[in-house]
Amino acid sequence: MITPILLPSALAALADVLTVTGTGRNDFGIRCIIAPSFADIFRNNTMQNGMLPVVLSFEECKALAEDAEAGLELEVDLEKQEVWRANGRTAIPFTTDPFRRHCLLNGLDDIALTMQKVGLVEKFEQQRSELWPWLDGFGYKGKKIPLRGTGMMEW
Amino acid sequence: MRITVDGELHEGVTSKDVILHIIGVIGTAGGTGSVIEYAGSVFRGFSMEARMSVCNMSIEAGARAGMVAPDDITFNYLRNRPLAPKGEAWDRAVAYWKTLNTDGGAQFDVEVNIRAEEIVPTVTWGTSPQDVAPITGAVPDPTLISDPVRRSSVERSLKYMGLSPNTRMEDIVLDKIFIGSCTNSRIEDLRSAAKIVLAAGPDAKVARNVHAMIVPGSGLVKQHAEAEGLDVIFKRAGFDWREAGCSMCLGMNPDQLSPGERCASTSNRNFEGRQGAGGRTHLVSPAMAAAAAMAGKLTDVRKFLGVDLSANASLKVASAFDFLTDPVLPPPEPEKPAPSAASSNPKDLPPAETPSCVAKFIVVKGIAAPLHIDNVDTDMIIPKQFLKTLKRSGLANALFYTLRKDPRTGEDTDFVLNRSPYNQAKILVCTGKNFGCGSSREHAPWSL
């Protein structure tokens, strides 16, 4: 059984931090990556940032890379789940998990999804304190853990 | 995914060798989509610290996490630790933890079985944690690889690493030794390295051609090691005994390799530039790192075994509990949040209204940049020196930095993203598999 530690107050604070950083997120401007396969954590990170990882076969990737080398534009349509190629060549279909697709089409990330369920989170936290009291830790009492020392952190 | 290693490990083979061997078998994408449970007599027999080194490197095997079923070794490790539950709460916790074992007959998506006897001390030769060889082996020959993508990836690795095919691993001469990192800098790791130094002889010194540093994993580990006299053993032999920290694992601070420098490192990643631009990393166990320090080159640690250290006065054992002395505050009252109205049917898609500012993705049209590299890792997408920020913007120039900037001149290279029209690309088409492997840094998608 998994017992995630979710504090609504901490999530709200995190959401604030992330919203004040503005909209210039996808900095280089690449919003879609097409590859034969992706590493798990990276794939999830892209989708948390409004980017779409598309898995296609090696042959399809090779064909699209040839288009790219010719300087041709591609069009990735997440509603239709198709990659459109220039010069009227056949579009290449792809699949996306329906939940992930919904999130990307509507700009939902994990924080947004969690905040939609804040009531359930609070109910869970109450149950957690009853069932696994040791997970509440020591001395926090709903406050932030005090940091000793100040200044920059060198790893 | 369950990886079972049964049998008896050879002497001199440690948990780091086991996990490097596993990654060599399943590859850095082998665990993709999985959490790995490590099972079998080898992991049952490992200490908690040895299990931690294995689980730590599950990420290098492509998995989300690694775990070993809790047992008496786990409970004894946790018992009486300052933040562990006490008294009746401890009994409840142990009873609960005992329910966490995998059910008998459970079906795993992937099962991997490895014989312990097949594992010898293992080192990496390339720029991915899956590029492993036994210390008794040699650098691979790319002309013998039929898969063209794999062959070019090996050729690229060997060029970066400055290695010729078929070079014996034991002939690889080193410049630096790094014993540290979250993978391998716990007290047992330091003890294991110290035993090799002692076995080398009372006057043995670190080889002239190497600089060897030891960085304890935490301030407590440092105190603990000093209480056991390990620092004296290391300093006597010419090791640099350092303050705790990440140090040369990832080169975010001044501890870095210079271009072309070669290091035997107990850390977890050997990607290009990981320990400094142009630096060459060979991943090894702490015992193998100590052996390499004494020999000045990669060396089979088993050459240092068989020395009886039982009468050695420099070895004493202290308890971790002597150093866990910070006061622990009493547990808090459980929070009682105010009930709020919310309902949800998990089968439905969530509401579309969002309190976040993530850009919607509906249709993206534009120039696509081609890339033909296998296992593009996140160190390659954005190197460590750009990670000291929590802001998601302003990282455009950091993207693929080591490929886009000439390390000597600082000028733009002819890498695809520097060339028109690809400097305006909105789409990246990569023909290599396992894109985005390695570190979980979210900066990678931010910079893209």
Q: What is the pLDDT of residues B57-87, one digit of tens each?
A: 999 999 999 999 999 999 999 999 988 888 9
DSSP three-state, residue B82:
coil
Tell me if chain B has a CB within 8 Å of the CB of A45: yes
Residue among B71, B338, B238, B141 nearest A118 (CA)? B338
**B40: left (phi > 0), else alpha (psi -120 to 50), else beta?**
left
The nearest CA of chain A is from the CA of B195 a distance in Å of 28
pLDDT tens by residue, A58-88: 999 999 999 999 999 999 999 999 999 998 8
C-alpha distance from B94 to closest chain A C-alpha (Å) = 11
Q: Is B366 on the interface with A (CB under 8 A)?
A: yes
What is the token pair recorded at A129? 């304190």
Residue by residue, DSSP assigns A20-81 as TT-S--SSS---EEEES-B-HHHHHHHHHTT-EEEE--HHHHHHHHHHHHTT-EEEEETTTT
**CA triple B6-B8-B9, angle to 5 deg:** 105
For the cut 50, the answer to whether the pLDDT of residue B294 exceeds it is yes
B76 with B43: CB under 8 angstroms?
no
- Interchain CB distance below 8 Å, A34 and B350: no
Percentage of chain A beyond pLDDT 90 is 51
Distance (Å) from the alpha carbon of B30 to chain A's nearest alpha carbon: 10
Interchain contact, B330 vs A154, CB within 8 Å: no
Cross-chain residue pair B368–A68, CB shorter than 8 Å? yes
Residue where the block lists tokens 């998601």: B392
Q: What is the DSSP annotation of B228-252?
A: TTHHHHHHHTT-EE--SS-GGGT-S
Euclidean distance between CA atoms B264 and B181, whole angstroms? 13
Cβ atoms B175, B261 nearer than 8 A: yes
Please state the pTM of the whole predicted model. 0.80
- Residue B48, exposed/middle/buried by CB under 10 A (0-12, 13-18, 19+)? middle
> How many angstroms separate the CA atoms of B140 and B150, rounded?
12
- Neighbouring C-beta atoms of residue B138, cutoff 10 Å: 18
Q: What is the pLDDT of residue A16?
A: 36
Among the partner-chain residues B329, B333, B358, the one whose CB lies closest to the CB of A108 is B358
Which among B343, B285, B335, B400 has a CA at the least distance from the CA of B54?
A: B285
Side chain identity at residue A102, one-letter code: H
Q: Which of B326-330, B406-410, B442-446 has the lowest mean pLDDT?
A: B326-330
Residue B96 pLDDT class (50, 70, 90 cuts): very high
Give the span between the Cα atoms of B239 and B235, in whole angstroms. Answer: 5
Q: Measured between alpha carbons, how far is B143 from A105 in angstroms, rounded to an integer?
A: 46
Q: Are B235 and B241 in contact (CB under 8 A)?
A: yes
Would the CB atoms of A65 and B371 count as touching at under 8 Å? yes
Q: What is the pLDDT of residues B197-244, one digit of tens each?
A: 999 999 999 999 999 999 999 999 999 999 999 999 999 999 999 999
**pLDDT beyond 50 at B23:** yes
Which pLDDT does position B158 carry in this prediction? 97
Instruction: List chain B residues with CB under 8 Å of A17.
Output: 390
Partner A, chain B 250-279, Cβ-Cβ below 8 Å: 250, 252-253
> What was the pLDDT predicted at A151?
56
In A86-145, the residues whose Cβ lies within 8 Å of chain B are 98-99, 102-109, 111-113, 115-120, 122-123, 125-126, 129-130, 132-134, 136-142
Is the Cβ–Cβ distance between B165 and B143 less than 8 Å? yes
Q: How many CB atoms are located within 10 Å of the residue A15 CB?
A: 18
- Determine, for residues A138 and B357 on separate chains, whether the beta-carbon distance falls below 8 Å: no
Residues of B in contact with A98 (CB under 8 A): 349
Per-residue pLDDT, B335: 57
A69–B contact, CB cutoff 8 A: yes
Say if B142 is an interface residue toward chain A (CB within 8 Å): no
pLDDT at A41: 92
Candidates B128, B123, B158; CA nearest to B27 is B128
Is B394's CB within 8 Å of A113's CB?
Answer: no
Q: Do B358 and A109 make contact, defined as CB atoms within 8 angstroms?
A: yes
The answer to whether B286 and B179 are in contact (CB under 8 A) is yes
B93 contacts B258 by C-beta, under 8 angstroms: no
Three-state secondary structure call for residue B177? strand
Residues of A in contact with B427 (CB under 8 A): 30-34, 68, 74, 76
Q: Which residues contact A98 (CB under 8 A, 6 or more apart)?
A: B349
Question: What confidence category does residue B407 fall into, taking pLDDT thresholds of 50, 70 and 90?
Answer: confident
Kindly report the nearest CA distance between residue B338 and chain A, in angstroms.
8
Å between A123 CA and nearest CA of chain B: 7
What are the structure tokens assigned to B368, written together?
A: 């696509």
Beta bridge partners of A73: B367
Does A38 reach chain B within 8 Å, measured CB to CB?
A: yes
pLDDT digits (tens, 9 = 90+) for A15-68: 333 333 333 334 799 999 999 999 999 999 999 999 999 999 999 999 999 999
Residue B4 has pLDDT above 60, yes or no: yes
Omega cis (within 30) before A98:
no
pLDDT digits (tens, 9 = 90+) for B352-403: 877 777 889 999 999 999 999 999 999 999 998 899 888 888 899 999 999 9
- C-alpha pair distances (Å), B397 with each of A1, A27, A98, B252, B405: 43, 9, 34, 18, 10
Q: Which residues of A touch B100 (CB under 8 A)?
A: 1
CA distances from B59 to B63, B183, B282 (A): 5, 11, 18
CA distance A90 to chain B (A): 16
Residue B246: list chain A partners with CB under 8 A: 155
